[in-house]
Amino acid sequence: MPYRSTEKTRQKKDAKRTAMMQTALQVFADKGYHAATVRDIVKEAGVAIGTFYFYFPDKETLFVYLFDETADFLVQTIAQAINGKQTLPRQVASGVQSYVNIALYEPAVVHLMLVGGIGAVPSLHTKRAAFRESLVNLWQRPLDTALDQEQIPEQNTRRMSEAVAGACDEVILNLLNSPGAEDEAAGAVRDLTFFILRGLGYREEEKSESS
């Protein structure tokens, strides 16, 4: 009779794999892709090196898998924040706040997406491009709606969405490198939201005054 793992055994394996991946995320963020080693990961995770190779054939495979998982988490979280609001100012503020929250409470996630592995893992090139495209798309949807409702002047919403995504990345990367990140977070959200709306030419107040 062939051996079949029990549900309890599978849960233990899944928990060990998840814990190892969470540890790897932090190790990559702290040391960078090249400097981080498999031994660093298993040491921090408190598992045998054989356990690592049971789940992943090498460091690059693990890194790419982490990138995929992290990209999905970040995009879905920001998208939910944007989609949960009805007006453009609230959508922008909510999306920016969501991104800043991730940076504050899961800095390794943002570091992996924006810094980790750049130029170091060739197989990430296509995946990184897809991640950037997802970020641009989630910002373009509310901009298209605002354009249809004449809340912003005629413009190329694709290009503006690229600009919004880039501005968010730049501000958040600098926020991560600041020793007073938590104290500066609220101001960063406010200033970035204002910058985005002003750049888009949002004009709800003008419409209200003229009506």
Q: Where are the domains of the chain?
A: 1-56, 59-210
**Are the C-beta atoms of 107 and 176 separated by less than 8 Å?**
yes
| Amino acid 174: pLDDT | 92
Q: How is residue 60 written in tokens?
A: 């690059």
H or E stretch including 6? none
* CA triple 137-203-135, angle to 5 deg: 15
| Amino acid 118: pLDDT | 67
| Amino acid 211: pLDDT | 35
Q: How is residue 188 written in tokens?
A: 């960063």
CB-based contacts of 141-146 (< 8 A; 24+ apart in sequence):
141/82, 142/82, 142/88, 142/91, 142/92, 143/88, 143/200, 145/88, 146/88, 146/200, 146/202
pTM score:
0.84
The 3-state DSSP class for residue 133 equals helix
| Amino acid 12: pLDDT | 66
| Amino acid 81: pLDDT | 97
- pLDDT means per 10 residues, the chain with 211 residues, are 56 77 90 90 91 92 90 94 95 97 91 75 84 95 96 97 96 91 95 97 59 35
Task: Give CATH for domain 1-56.
Answer: 1.10.10.60
| Amino acid 207: pLDDT | 43
**Are the C-beta atoms of 146 and 85 separated by less than 8 Å?**
no
The CB-side HSE value for 168 (13 A sphere, CA atoms) comes to: 29
Architecture of domain 59-210: Orthogonal Bundle (1.10)
